[in-house]
Amino acid sequence: MLLDSLNSAEGLLPGVFRGIPISIVDVSSDHGRRVLEYLFPGVDPAAYDDFGVGPSGISIEALYVGDDYRVRAKLLSKAFETPGPALLIHPWLGPMQVIMEEPAQIRFSERELRVFRVSARFKRAPSSSISGFAGGLLPSALSRFTSALTSLAASITLTVISSARTSATIRSRRVVASVADAITARPDARSAVSQIRLALAASSPSSPVAFDTWVSSAASVIAQTIEIPAVAPATTFLPSTPSAQALMSAGLSIATGLLTEAGKAPSAIDALLLAGAAGQFIAASAEQSSYADFVSRQEALRYRSSMTSALASLVDQVEQQAPNTMQAASSALSSAARSLTAAIVSDLNEVIGRLPSVRRISVSRDTDAWLIAQHLSGDTPARLEAVYADLVARNDPSHPAQLPAGDIEFLERN
């Protein structure tokens, strides 16, 4: 199941307990101190002793939807019964070590087919910091993920005979170049895509490790930091500066194309090389997400869903194609991909909660865009021009002054 596959259902957020994905409906936490109250006969004021910070309690209401819901319920019940601390991936707070405070409930209902619901309460373990996540989830998760991709390439070099790995590398190199040539980039990302194509044409790797370095060099174009000068230069003809969203879109398009080709690869080694190449572009897109200036919740949700879906597809390819001789490297990559998924979800959820939503208004006939902008602006005339520009850009009418009948999208503004 994709960690973000229920993104289209309103109100559901992805979470994981002991590696088992669940969709969280509601989550809350308790915070405070351990205070003991003393009551004495004949004395009105109470006395108190402070015994320090109390353990933080985490309560979740979650569900799972799928044809394998009975198998998944048994796995989750075993996870709840397993002794010791466990890894819980909180939708906002990220990974944390928890222990069961009380027995969890798993509920089935005749009114909800292929569904079970979960109620559980945890306490944060005394050592709540997880190694590898200090100083921010996303950077450390990205570092671990890219290291796992390189380790997989090294494992192919060590375990596959020379002729087979060389042939697979040459075929995969051609596929990567073909996918990069075939994508259609947004107008402001065309220069970046051209740089990727030039980087791919610069050399011809013939070994898996060199192939990984070659793809990583091309993918680094997606992760580039765009510096915008405070003072515009004198020249009037400026190349369009790619936005973070445009770079992410290009990177995810290449990654999706490579994962599609990996599913049709002639051998397992080809599939692993193409999946690793896709991973480099996913990592670059995730790194660029820190600079993205999302306009609406829906836009951020689309990018979150695209990245987590691509990572889930990568994990499926690696787990299906990796032979037993590469079990250690493939397991490390799967684990790193799931950690990166959790970091992306946690990072973007923090942004999504602060973004406005895209709403719709229905009109029965063609309407002047300026009149709709006036209606939406309400008592704030200063917003009128911004609302009008957003209406035209978002709905792309054939004539900028006339919006066609039907649903018209607009950005909700406070």
Q: What is the CATH number of the domain that holds 24?
A: 2.40.30.200
Do 262 and 329 lie in a common domain? yes
If pLDDT is split at 50, 70 and 90, which confidence band does 353 have? low
If pLDDT is split at 50, 70 and 90, which confidence band does 243 have? confident
- Does residue 41 belong to any structural domain of this protein? no
Which region among 132-141, 247-256, 263-272 has the lowest average model confidence (pLDDT)? 132-141
- Does residue 232 belong to any structural domain of this protein? no
Q: Give the Cα separation of 35 and 295 in Å (integer).
A: 45
Do 318 and 347 lie in a common domain? yes
Q: Is the predicted pLDDT of residue 133 greater than 70, yes or no? A: no
If pLDDT is split at 50, 70 and 90, which confidence band does 11 have? low
Q: Classify 374 as helix, strand or coil.
A: helix
Q: Classify 120 as helix, strand or coil.
A: strand
Q: What percent of the chain has pLDDT over 90?
A: 35
DSSP letter at 224?
A: P
Do 94 and 174 lie in a common domain? no
Strands 94-100, 112-124: pairing kind: antiparallel
State pLDDT tens for residues 61-102: 998 888 888 988 998 999 899 888 888 888 777 778 889 888
- Does residue 43 belong to any structural domain of this protein? no
| Count: domains in the chain | 3
pLDDT of residue 265: 92
If pLDDT is split at 50, 70 and 90, which confidence band does 135 have? very low
Number of residues that this document lists for the chain: 414
- Does residue 39 belong to any structural domain of this protein? no
- Does residue 132 belong to any structural domain of this protein? no
Q: Is the predicted pLDDT of residue 229 greater than 60, yes or no? A: no
Do 293 and 368 lie in a common domain? no
If pLDDT is split at 50, 70 and 90, which confidence band does 277 have? very high
Do 153 and 76 lie in a common domain? no
* DSSP characters over 284-339: HHHHHGGG---SSHHHHHHHHHHHHHHHHHHHHHHHHH--GGGHHHHHHHHHHHHH
Q: Is the predicted pLDDT of residue 324 greater than 70, yes or no? A: yes
Residue 267 belongs to domain spanning: 137-227+240-352
**Which one of 115-129, 274-288, 376-390 scores highest in mean pLDDT?**
274-288
| Token pair recorded at residue 191 | 């220069």
Of 124, 153, 187, the residue that ends a domain is 124
Of residues 337 and 93, the one with the higher pLDDT is: 337
Residue 46 belongs to what H/E stretch?
none
Do 332 and 299 lie in a common domain? yes
Do 392 and 309 lie in a common domain? no
- Does residue 20 belong to any structural domain of this protein? yes
Chain centroid to CA 31: how far? 28
Mean pLDDT of 43-61: 88
Mean pLDDT of the chain: 82
Do 102 and 158 lie in a common domain? no
Do 182 and 223 lie in a common domain? yes
Q: Is the predicted pLDDT of residue 363 greater than 90, yes or no? A: no
- Does residue 46 belong to any structural domain of this protein? no
Mean pLDDT of 27-42: 88
Q: Give the Cα separation of 29 and 57 in Å (integer).
A: 5
Of 313, 337, 352, the residue that ends a domain is 352
Do 280 and 397 lie in a common domain? no
Do 99 and 247 lie in a common domain? no
Of 124, 147, 177, the residue that ends a domain is 124
- Does residue 185 belong to any structural domain of this protein? yes
Mean pLDDT of 250-256: 93
Of residues 138 and 118, the one with the higher pLDDT is: 118
If pLDDT is split at 50, 70 and 90, which confidence band does 301 have? confident
Do 401 and 321 lie in a common domain? no
